[in-house]
Amino acid sequence: MQEDIFATLQESYQKGVFSVPTTFYFSIDDIKKTLTLDGEGCRIEDGKTVEDADCICKTSAAMFNKIWNDGYRPGIMDFMGGAIKSNAPQLLQQLLTAFGK
């Protein structure tokens, strides 16, 4: 299911939310993806293709689906409890906005 979500990202990307190139690394169970977003578009690559992503997000497939498909917005307890691990939670919110979520 996560592969399906990543497959639709380029067509749902809203240009202009990210004006400078910003990288995201996702580790969702067995799926590893790197996204690079900028003012013109969205590039998706398999695996970890950058050494230091601007935002790293590690979570379960269940949590990712809950956020992406069900409109769930994680709170501080999701991060503190370890359900989502990220070095830049504020960028995750901006990411959702970039895809109309």
Cβ-count burial 6-27 (b if 16+ within 10 Å, e if not)? beebeeebeeebbeeebbbbbe
Per-residue pLDDT of the chain (101 residues), as tens digits, is 667 888 888 899 999 899 999 999 999 999 999 999 999 999 999 999 999 999 999 999 999 999 999 999 999 999 999 999 999 999 999 999 999 88
Provide CATH code, domain 2-98: 3.30.1050.10
Q: What is the pTM of this model?
A: 0.92
Query: How many Cα atoms sit within 13 Å of 53 on the Cβ side?
Result: 26
3-state SS of 1-57? CHHHHHHCHHHHCCCCCCCCCEEEEEEECCEEEEEEECCCCEEEEECCCCCCCCEEE
